[in-house]
Chain A
């Protein structure tokens, strides 16, 4: 096995920023807004680096799809311990319509090209909350998937994944090569150290175009409108339980 792990990292609007919708309701304001690595992607990178430190895998490759600024996100992954990066250049209209379907096609193509043993992604991105890329990537590659992972360990030639599901925790064993998506409790991402940030400068980021990978970026979706969530309406105070039941019946919820 190549011992190579591909980690997808996405550049998203920073979690602490207050999101504003553009006046034309076409999308969210991104110009001049602080961006950073998707928190679940940080957890994915951390897991990959941990596996390398345990000598279970040999190389961590960070991948990001987007315009020039995506390289910042790759650099953060390199500063955390990834060995090299791949920047898949997607700009303009293509970038605006880039979604899980396109990214998973790209990840699948790269996984084959790089002979990856494992693809680790965050479970979802905090901007679109799709929760699809990992699953689609596995389907395109016809690889097993361990999603919502809260624990990953190697068991012979298989990977044991403890998954967070609605009912609790589910443990599965999947053969490699495989796709794993990271959930919140998988690990706590390390801080990059100052020496590692400086070493990251010397690590290579390869530039790749989607066309080189034979990937068609056309979107099957069209965003019609983006709105803010409705303002919270004032409630009504009632005096007795009977009043409450009456109001609920009026509203048709009982």
Chain B
């Protein structure tokens, strides 16, 4: 960084710009329809545009003003999320008979993309919560659906998805948490790592081993928070996603009723993977929202910042860079939406497309946000500017819900397997 003198001046001058910029930042990422070539409403039905509008309004009014505070103070915004649930965001693709909104995967992607412009971390948690609610809705029996889905859709209770363990991340099928059948209970022993919401949420959808080795020995259990034998590790300190706590989830002779098992014994891995297909679209959608916000922020900055006697927007390199960012954003959006449609229609290419979308979009969007930060110059590095939070928050999207390397495994397997 430059010498302290000029930096000091920049910092002081920066804070007056910051105040203006905070006003601009608060409005511009959510400015619908500015820069019309990247307008996310193109190609949507009237109804989808309405969904998108609600999500954008909610993001602008309820999330964006608090995004920085939630990040810096590591606050889990329970009240705001419950307000979102009142609008139907708690179980977007859960069926209406148990309190969900019954929308399609594409509708869901559009909604998460819009919400993400307000706060990526919170939206990502909401998407995880949605995935858990959907798993219970789809694979649960009547009692389980009645018991858990309504309270999850309203966000009276919050959910966490527990697959990863200290010893099994990408190699998820090798998980070690055991569930021994004793009478009408399973006794769980083991631990899960990196659980989003862990410790603050109420309902844990846990993949555990009821049978032998490999994926066929895995079952899915719903564990409620107050169950004896369930405890949590320390809250992890993260680079981003700070509006959701992340903790290890520990099972020590934790007795879970058999009635809480989703589906049959041995079906758990399949349930987990089906959940992740949608989860990958959702995470990619969150990356899209961040990238969209960052392109608008970069654009606004280029129009305001002057160097060498003119605004940065007159600099051809930056013009071209911005054009590339916009192009990659739109390309990413099209891939996610196509994957969402494929998943909704249960197409044969759905799984590969979801993996491709997650791989391509999380990588591209991180790069877009990073470029946007670069365009901000020194200001991009200051926490007063939103762009750095978008960069930090979406960095992890390239890692979780299946690393981008695992996405490549899935896609190459599809290409190289003789059918």
Contact = CB atoms under 8 A, between A and B. Distances in A.
Interface stretch (B83-91, B158-166, B182-190, B271-279): B83-91
Given A191-B58, A193-B86, A194-B101, A72 B31 contact: no
Contact of B50 (A14, A18, A34, A197): A197
Nearest to B87: A193
Given A192-B54, A193-B88, A194-B54, A72 B46 contact: yes
Contacts of B49: 72
Contacts of B50: 75-76, 79, 192, 197, 200
B87 A14 contact: no
Given A16-B27, A34-B39, A194 B103 contact: yes
Give the interface size bracket for B toward A: 20 to 34
Nearest to B50: A197
B87 A16 contact: no
Contacts of A75: 46, 50
Given A36-B53, A201-B47, A194 B32 contact: no
Interface in A60-113: 72, 75-76, 79
A16 B31 contact: yes
Interface in B26-49: 27, 30-34, 36, 39, 46-47, 49
A201 B103 CA distance: 14
B57 A191 contact: yes
B47 A16 contact: no
A198 interface: yes
B326 to A, nearest CB: 16
Contacts of B53: 36, 76, 192
B33 A14 contact: yes
A17 interface: yes
Interface string B74-114: 00000000000011110010001000011100000000000
B206 to A, nearest CB: 29
B401 to A, nearest CB: 24
A194 B89 contact: yes
Nearest to B36: A32
Contact of A18 (B34, B46, B57): B34
Contacts of B139: none
B51 interface: yes
Interface in A199-219: 200-201
B36 A197 contact: no
B54 A17 contact: no
B248 to A, nearest CB: 34
Nearest to B32: A34
Give the interface size bracket for A toward B: 20 to 34
Contacts of A34: 32-34, 36, 39
B34 A16 contact: yes
Nearest to A200: B50
Contact of B33 (A17, A76, A195, A197): A17
A16 B34 CA distance: 8
Contacts of A200: 50
B51 A33 contact: no
B184 to A, nearest CB: 38
Contacts of A192: 50, 53-54, 87
> Which of A17, A18, A198 lies at the interface centre, i.e. has the most chain B CB atoms within 10 A of its CB?
A198
Nearest to B61: A191
A198 B360 CA distance: 32
Contacts of A14: 31-33
A103 B101 CA distance: 37
> Which of A18, A36, A195 lies at the interface centre, i.e. has the most chain B CB atoms within 10 A of its CB?
A195
Interface string A1-28: 0000000000000101110000000000
A36 B54 CA distance: 12
A17 B34 contact: yes
A16 B64 CA distance: 16
A116 B131 CA distance: 47
A28 B271 CA distance: 55
B27 A194 contact: no
Contacts of A201: 47
A191 B87 contact: yes
A4 to B, nearest CB: 25
A18 B303 CA distance: 13
A197 B101 CA distance: 10
B157 to A, nearest CB: 20
A194 B51 contact: yes
Given A72-B46, A194-B92, A197-B51, A33 B33 contact: yes
B54 A191 contact: yes
> Which of B27, B50, B96 lies at the interface centre, i.e. has the most chain A CB atoms within 10 A of its CB?
B50
Contacts of B34: 16-18, 34
B246 to A, nearest CB: 28
Contacts of B102: 198
Nearest to A37: B53
A192 B27 CA distance: 20
B85 to A, nearest CB: 10
12 contacts: A16-B31, A16-B32, A33-B36, A34-B34, A34-B39, A75-B46, A76-B53, A192-B53, A194-B89, A197-B51, A198-B47, A201-B47
Closest CB pairs A-B (n = 6):
A34-B33, A194-B88, A194-B101, A16-B31, A197-B50, A193-B87
Interface of B: 27, 30-34, 36, 39, 46-47, 49-51, 53-54, 57-58, 86-89, 92, 96, 101-103
Interface of A: 14, 16-18, 32-34, 36, 72, 75-76, 79, 191-195, 197-198, 200-201
Given A191-B57, A194-B51, A201-B47, 6 more contacts: A33-B33, A33-B36, A36-B32, A192-B53, A193-B86, A197-B51
